[in-house]
Amino acid sequence: MIIVLVVSFFLLMILGIPVGFAIGSSTLIALLLQNDIPLVVIPQMMFGGVDRYVFLAMPFFILTGVAMTELELTDRVVKIADALVGHMRGGLAQINIVASVIFGGIQGSGNADTAAIGSLLIPSMIKDGYSKGYSCAVTASSSTLAPIIPPSMMMVVYGGIAGVSIGEMFLAGFIPGFIMAALLMVVAYIYAVRGAQSGKRKSRFSYQNVLSAIVWGGPALLTAFIIIGGILGGVFTPTESGAVAAVYALLIGAFYYKTLTWKRFLKIFVNGGLITAMCGIILSCSSVFNWILTSAEIPTKILNFMLGMGLSRTAIVLCIIAFVYCVGFFMDVMASMIILVPLLAPIGLQLGYDPVNWGVLIVLLFCMGGITPPLGINLFIATSIAGCKYSETAKAVIPFVLILIISVFCVAFIPSLTLFLPSLLMR
């Protein structure tokens, strides 16, 4: 039955069936061929898969991100980044990275970060003399920061599926996220110093500009502080924090920035509802898919197989890193996480990893797949904005991918990077 399940799933994906329906259809095919399992299991498991309180946070986080995008708050974020790092060598590339740090902390989605930041900065970078491929590479690679720097939608999903504290995962993402940002900025600086991608734009650092940008963009930044501060301070749960953040985003759009209209209000809820429905279908269908795999003890069999080959703990971790990374090449981050986290989480525990450290590693690996050729989805998004050849972007992104792989190994083999803040503040 397992072979039928997996083969039918990949065949349906190759045929272009949406991932949620591919998961559900392959599960139905496998159960139809297994006569001793009643089909009533399917609706029961589908409902049970989404019947978790923590998943109520998902529509609120999605609504918050959509509102921040639709209410034109991205340009406020870019102005803050400009005031902070615009004077550095490779100024627009540095602005792009810092803007992703800030916007990712508000939005929490790599794809949304690529689209929102890219639509503003990729044309500006090209106009300033940066190559199209390089502009796309910087934008796509910095989008990996969004799911790592809290609040993160991916961490909410991982925590909900694996039963890991979302507050601890949020804290665990801070240090690795800022290390990743620093490494990306170093690469951009080296390019600028070598004169390969330095741009023509010149600006000077000014405390007055920084203050002005923060005053104008500060209310938008408070969204992230409301979520993180509320959870850590025990004021509200992750679900409640998402609801509060969504209401706050709408209020500042209506009364401070005055960008909220009835047309945009309707569009925010329609788009938020569509994205939530898509995620809900994937979650519910994958619960049956994962039930079949876990009932067959697939995670234990995979680990025993690797141990039987005489592999050390480090070698097993490296194999899992390579596998998860490659999955990210071909599948949407959300879908691949929902399918594989129930299998990967127990393996991490058996290998002796802290659940929070393992969770951050898995989230990072899935996101890395989104910027890696040949099928990185964020590369396609950035390329479509710039209107250049995909091969140009794929070539330019390689140095950024290589430097981010260093971050992966740091998270995998230096647990204190992820566990220091959770241990200090929540344990």
How far is residue 183 CA from its own chain's centroid?
Answer: 18
In the predicted structure, residue 375 carries a pLDDT above the cut 70: no
Over residues 350-369, the mean pLDDT reads 90
Indicate the DSSP class of residue 151. Answer: S
Q: What pLDDT does 199 receive?
A: 58
Q: What pLDDT does 185 receive?
A: 92
In the predicted structure, residue 197 carries a pLDDT above the cut 80: no
Neighbours of 204 (CB within 10 A): 7
pLDDT category at 89 given cuts 50, 70, 90 is confident
In the predicted structure, residue 366 carries a pLDDT above the cut 80: yes
Mean pLDDT of the chain: 82
Q: Kindly report, residue by residue over 13-69, the tens digit of the pLDDT.
A: 778 787 778 888 888 888 888 777 777 878 888 888 777 777 787 788 888 878 887
Distance, CA of 156 to CA of 359 (rounded, Å): 11
Distance, CA of 77 to CA of 322 (rounded, Å): 34
pLDDT higher at 50 or 374: 50
pLDDT category at 203 given cuts 50, 70, 90 is low
Provide the residue type at 388 as one letter: C
Over residues 239-260, the mean pLDDT reads 87
Q: What pLDDT does 94 receive?
A: 87
Q: What pLDDT does 200 receive?
A: 59
Q: Measuring CA to CA, which residue among 374, 285, 275 is closest to residue 41? A: 285
Over residues 254-274, the mean pLDDT reads 89
Q: Kindly report, residue by residue over 395-404, the tens digit of the pLDDT.
A: 888 999 998 8
Over residues 145-149, the mean pLDDT reads 84
Indicate the DSSP class of residue 53. Answer: G
CA atoms within 13 A on the CB side of 71: 33
Q: pTM for this one?
A: 0.81
- Percentage of the chain lying above the pLDDT 70 cut: 93
Q: What pLDDT does 72 receive?
A: 76
Q: What pLDDT does 311 receive?
A: 80
Integer-rounded Cα radius of gyration of the chain: 22
Least confident of 219-223, 315-319, 346-350: 219-223
Distance, CA of 306 to CA of 315 (rounded, Å): 9
Is the previous residue joined to 374 through a cis bond, with omega within 30 degrees of 0? yes
